[in-house]
């Protein structure tokens, strides 16, 4: 899908504040309300805008531990991958999940209350999957965390 400068400005504003009123959004990009709304619908239907969400403060919800879990496996079939992906996606603690190049095959970001909660997750995780190696690294400090994508200057 080709995005023009107005589309890019729309999504730049939305990824910073999705609760902005359509009328205010339209004013900021130089459109009237109806054409702005139509563009938003087009961006959603095309999949450029995947979802509108609220970003929560993990610490205020007592979710204080962020763990990066690297996984190796000796299984590389499509069926195994589909089963593994379904299994991992079912764990609510897994907030990010990637298939990787390099030494490890998969990278997960897991968010839990504390070390004991991670240990409980880990035991359920290794029971539910067939893996060669699992390595966990605990984040000491979150320095930058953003959901905003780097967009071209408009």
Q: Are strands 94-99 and 133-138 parallel, antiparallel or unpaired?
A: unpaired
Q: What is the pLDDT of residues 101-147, one digit of tens each?
A: 999 999 999 999 999 999 999 999 999 999 999 999 999 999 999 99
pLDDT score, position 153? 83
| 3-state secondary structure string across 46-108 | HCCCCCCCCCCCCHHHCCCEEEEEEEECCCCCHHHHHHHHHHHHCCCCEEEEEECCCCCCEEE
pLDDT score, position 154? 67
Half-sphere exposure of 109 (CA within 13 A, CB side): 9
pLDDT score, position 80? 95
Q: What is the pLDDT of residues 36-94, one digit of tens each?
A: 999 999 999 999 999 999 999 999 999 999 999 999 999 999 999 999 999 999 999 99
Let me know how long the chain is. 154
Write down the mean pLDDT value for the chain: 96
Delineate the domains of the chain, giving CATH numbers in brackets. Answer: 5-46 (1.10.10.10), 59-138 (3.30.70.920)
């Amino acid at each position: 899908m080709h995005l023009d400068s107005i589309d890019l400005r729309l999504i730049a504003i939305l990824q910073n504040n999705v609760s902005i009123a359509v009328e205010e959004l339209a004013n900021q990009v130089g459109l009237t309300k109806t054409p702005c709304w139509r563009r938003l619908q087009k961006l959603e239907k095309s999949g450029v805008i995947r979802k509108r969400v609220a970003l929560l403060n993990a610490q205020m919800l007592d979710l204080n531990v962020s763990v990066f879990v690297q996984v190796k496996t000796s299984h590389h079939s499509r069926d195994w991958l589909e089963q593994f992906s379904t299994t991992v996606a079912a764990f609510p603690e897994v907030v990010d999940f990637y298939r990787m190049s390099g030494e490890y095959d998969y990278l997960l970001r897991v968010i839990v209350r504390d070390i004991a909660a991670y240990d409980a997750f880990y035991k359920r995780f290794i029971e539910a999957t067939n893996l060669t190696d699992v390595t966990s690294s605990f984040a000491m400090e979150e320095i930058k965390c953003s959901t905003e994508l780097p967009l071209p200057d408009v």
